[in-house]
Amino acid sequence: MGSIFSLRGVVFRYPGAESCALDGVDLEVSVGEWVALVGANGSGKSTLAKICNALLTPTQGDCFVLGENTRDGLSTAEIRRSVALVFQNPEDQIVASIVEEDVAFGPENLALPHEEIKRRVDFAIEAVGLSDERRRGVFSLSGGQKQRLALAGALALEPEALILDESASMLDPEGRESFLSCLNGLKERGMTIVQITHRMEETIGADRLVVLDAGRAAWDGAPNEFFRGEYRRWSFEEPPAFALFRELLERGLLPAGTSPDVGSMLDALCL
Amino acid sequence: MRLLSGISLGQFIPGESFVHGLDPRCKIICTFLLLTGLFLASSPPDFALWGALLVAISLLSQIRLGLVLRSARPVLFLALITILLNIFWTPGHEIFRAGFLKITEEGLILSIRMGMRLFFLVVFAALLMMTTSPMSFSDGLERLLSPLAALGFPASEMAVMMTIALRFIPTLFEETDRILKAQISRGADFESGGLLKRARSFIPILIPLFVLVFQRAENLAVAMESRCYVPGRPRTRMCPLVWRRSDSAALIILFAFISALVALDRRFLRFLIR
């Protein structure tokens, strides 16, 4: 399986900043993979997302997206089309006042024929479950619907990969659940997803988990491996399902015959 | 705190009415005609007919008249100043005097006329915005201004700029409301004291609001770039503008109505007789 993102020794320093936001990140993301990117505030997660979308150019090192170097100005447009970015606050990325007009903004920027724009808008609105709201004003949508609208705007570009920068963090449990089920649907269709999050329970469905610490990729592996104990090194919270299982096991409250092996239970939960 | 409640200026109300379905270019030209025609209206029967026209357009738009009228609320203060200035400072036949203040017959007529014009101007402009989504409004304006592109006028950029400005009006009201409430919860008082004290008390609102607006603008610019927006690069539209017969008909009917109003105006008739 080919790489969609390939970061080689990426260093990034914001103008005037004393330290580097990214300090030599090496990362490969394969086509169709779901990678959860976690880390404390200021660890460089959002900077990494912007570099992968060619919004920022590395100070040192290279970032390749589908084989194109983000330094190459000629490929910038194609990179932004191939890698769609969804930000934390949907209010910051909604341009138009009507749902379908906002979803059309990206394809309109690609100067596509209007029939093609319409097809993409129909697809994206359907994919996020906003078909009944397509003529509604964006200000009458709930927080979860606005975030799904932002996702639809990204999907209308027909990208190969999605980068979600804490996109579910402002949602209530119901909104988060519906947003995550949208992502599961996209993953099943083969979409590459890089999900930046602070919530450990959102990483359970991921294929890989990468920890960014002080601008470096400090840990890279399967989520079940991470929650066997590694997560304690960075003071992350255990996902509630894992914590519950561990607690039940430690108190001897699990029915007879349940495997006492925490690892195998974690494997089952992550599957 | 009812400072910002009920403000409907610039808000699009989605709908499927006849007016909603008109081409935005037609609606912009019609509004321009309406606003021009308003400055020729002077007598009470004129304004009664303008009122009837407002009711008719409101019905055709399927927008409640009350909501349309409410859009004039933000300019009430401006209208009041205009009326007061005209009522006391217009020379002519004096009908009332109190100290140095005097009201003349001419001043009274002029102030009512100016107030009515300002009111109709705002409500017709509001009707345009209520029935035209910011995106189609800017598309229409872009097409109308496109001949100027040959002279280097950035019509496309201006259209996007306008879309965003209109899209942010409700957001700005929301944010102002949020900051207001936050300041009130920390003991700020915006409702007592004289005009100057109340105006001064709004400074703690304006500073965070400006910071927030710049932050929002920065975030939106990044989001637009990530959605492949490049200033100056040609864009296409999901719904290309199409001028239909209904647009021509609306334009002709409105033009005929305004022409009839102008012709009926006594001043205009007097001017013709001379």
Reported ipTM: 0.83
Most confident stretch, A88-97, A248-257, B80-89: A88-97
CA distance B121 to chain A (A): 24
Q: Residue for token digits 């992350």?
A: A236
Lowest mean pLDDT, pick from B22-31, B80-89, B128-137: B80-89
Helix (H, G, I), strand (E, B) or coil at B146: helix
Q: Chain A contacts of B167, Cβ < 8 Å?
A: 94-97
β-strand pairing of B101-104 with B94-98: antiparallel
- Write the pLDDT tens digit of every residue in A84-135: 999 988 888 888 888 999 999 999 999 999 999 999 999 999 988 899 999 8
- Write the pLDDT tens digit of every residue in B161-217: 887 887 778 778 888 888 888 888 888 777 777 777 777 877 888 888 888 888 888
Instruction: Identify the residue among A50, A87, A92 best suited for mutation to test binding to B, counting B beta carbons within 10 A and taking the highest.
Output: A92
Query: What residue ranges define each of the domains in chain A, with the CATH number in brackets?
Result: 3-237 (3.40.50.300), 239-271 (no CATH)
Q: Chain B contacts of A84, Cβ < 8 Å?
A: 226-227
- Write the pLDDT tens digit of every residue in B106-142: 888 888 888 888 899 999 999 998 999 888 888 898 8
Contact B59, B11 (CB under 8 A): no
Q: Specify the amino acid at residue B218.
A: E
If one compares B262 and B53, the residue with the highest pLDDT of the two is: B53
Beta strands in chain B (DSSP E): 94-98, 101-104
Q: Where are the domains of chain B?
A: 18-168+242-269
- b/e sequence B4-27, b meaning 16+ C-beta within 10 Å: eeebbbbbbbeeeeebbebbbbbb
| Residue B1, pLDDT score | 44
Q: Chain A contacts of B166, Cβ < 8 Å?
A: 97
Handedness of CA B12, B18, B19, B21 (dihedral sign): positive
Q: Residue for token digits 């909603």?
A: B20
The contact set of B with A (CB < 8 A) is: 12-14, 133-135, 163-164, 166-167, 170-171, 216, 219-220, 222-230, 233-240
Helix (H, G, I), strand (E, B) or coil at B248: helix
| Residue B2, pLDDT score | 46
Tell me the C-alpha distance between B262 and B274, whole Å: 16
First to last CA, chain A: 21
Contact B251, B30 (CB under 8 A): yes
What residue in A sits closest to B231 (Cα-Cα)? Answer: A109
**CA geometry: angle at A47 spanning A169 and A179, to 5°?**
25
Instruction: Identify the residue among A97, A116, A194 best suited for mutation to test binding to B, counting B beta carbons within 10 A and taking the highest.
Output: A97
The HSE-up count of residue B255 (CA atoms within 13 Å, CB side) is 9
| Residue A35, pLDDT score | 95
Query: Within 10 A of B94 (CB to CB), how many other CB atoms are there?
Result: 12
Tell me the C-alpha distance between B71 and A118, whole Å: 34
The contact set of A with B (CB < 8 A) is: 50, 53, 55, 77, 80-81, 84-85, 87, 89, 91-98, 100-101, 104-114, 117-118, 121, 135-137, 139, 153-154, 157
- State the pLDDT confidence band at A223, using cuts at 50, 70 and 90: confident
| Residue A266, pLDDT score | 61
Determine whether the interchain pair A101/B238 forms a contact, defined as Cβ–Cβ distance below 8 Å.
yes
- State the pLDDT confidence band at B266, using cuts at 50, 70 and 90: low
- b/e sequence B232-241, b meaning 16+ C-beta within 10 Å: eeebbbbeee
What is the number of helices (H) and of strands (E) in chain A? Answer: 9, 10
Q: Chain A contacts of B227, Cβ < 8 Å?
A: 80, 84, 93, 95, 105-106, 109, 153-154, 157
B14, two tokens:
């989605």
B229, two tokens:
């927006």
- State the pLDDT confidence band at A20, using cuts at 50, 70 and 90: very high
Percent of chain B having pLDDT more than 70? 93
Query: Within 10 A of B269 (CB to CB), how many other CB atoms are there?
Result: 12
Nearest one of A65, A159, A147 to A107, comparing CA atoms: A159
Q: Chain B contacts of A81, Cβ < 8 Å?
A: 228
Q: Pseudo-torsion of CA B239, B244, B250, B251, nearest 10°?
A: 90
Phi, psi (degrees; rounded to nearest 5) at B267: -60, -40
* Mean of the per-residue pLDDT values of chain A: 87
Region A140-156 average pLDDT: 90
**CA geometry: angle at A120 spanning A116 and A126, to 5°?**
145
Length of chain A in terms of residues written: 271
What residue in A sits closest to B165 (Cα-Cα)? Answer: A95
CA distance A123 to chain B (A): 14
Contact A96, B133 (CB under 8 A): yes
Structure letter (DSSP) for residue B107: H
